[in-house]
Amino acid sequence: MNIDSIKDGIVIDHIQAKKGLEIYDALKLGDLDCSVAIITNAKSKKMGRKDIIKIDKKINLDLTILGYLDPNITINIIKDNERIDKYHVELPKEIVNIIKCKNPRCITSVEQELKHIFVLTDKEKRIYRCKYCETLSEE
Ligand code: ZN
């Protein structure tokens, strides 16, 4: 794969610098059978430094996890070397089975089959609380 261009695929842009690998792991991009490039510390007018991930294939991205990890990310869809779509991820209002409640007395600790659901309670501060016991999520 040419690092500078992909013919058909996805570019995940405006990732906070040094966070590219975390995003790569969270999306399990290592399991894909296509080329994936991580560019770290790229220069950015807007951010100073940023990371970029280029995926040489159209895959279904988990936007919930992207929004939770880094709501400033932008997604570019590339087709025939042209950008045909671009969108921003958003802080998800609810995240399911991504983080686990740390409260040992929470019902999710007792009832193993329950989904771990966290709800956004403060958008400014990016605070999530367990839906069942209101324990804060931990970074
Ligand atoms: Zn809980």
Q: What are the sequence ranges of the domains in the chain?
A: 9-88, 94-130
CA of 129 to the centre of ligand 1 (A): 8
d(CA 76, CA 114): 35
CA of 51 to the centre of ligand 1 (A): 33
- For residue 22, give Cα distances in angstroms to 25, 105, 133: 5, 30, 28
Helix residue ranges per DSSP H, the chain: 20-26, 63-69, 107-110
pLDDT score for 6:
86
CA of 101 to the centre of ligand 1 (A): 5
Q: Which CATH number fits domain 9-88: 3.20.20.80, 3.60.21.10, 3.30.70.140, 3.30.1490.20?
A: 3.30.70.140
User: 0.75 exceeded by the pTM?
Assistant: yes
- Residues of the chain falling short of pLDDT 50: 1
- Taking a 5 Å cut-off on Cβ, the residues next to ion ligand 1 are 101, 103, 106, 130, 132-133, 135
CA of 16 to the centre of ligand 1 (A): 29
| Beta bridge partner(s), residue 12 | 53, 75
The side-by-side arrangement of strands in the sheet containing 94-96 is 94-96, 117-122, 127-130
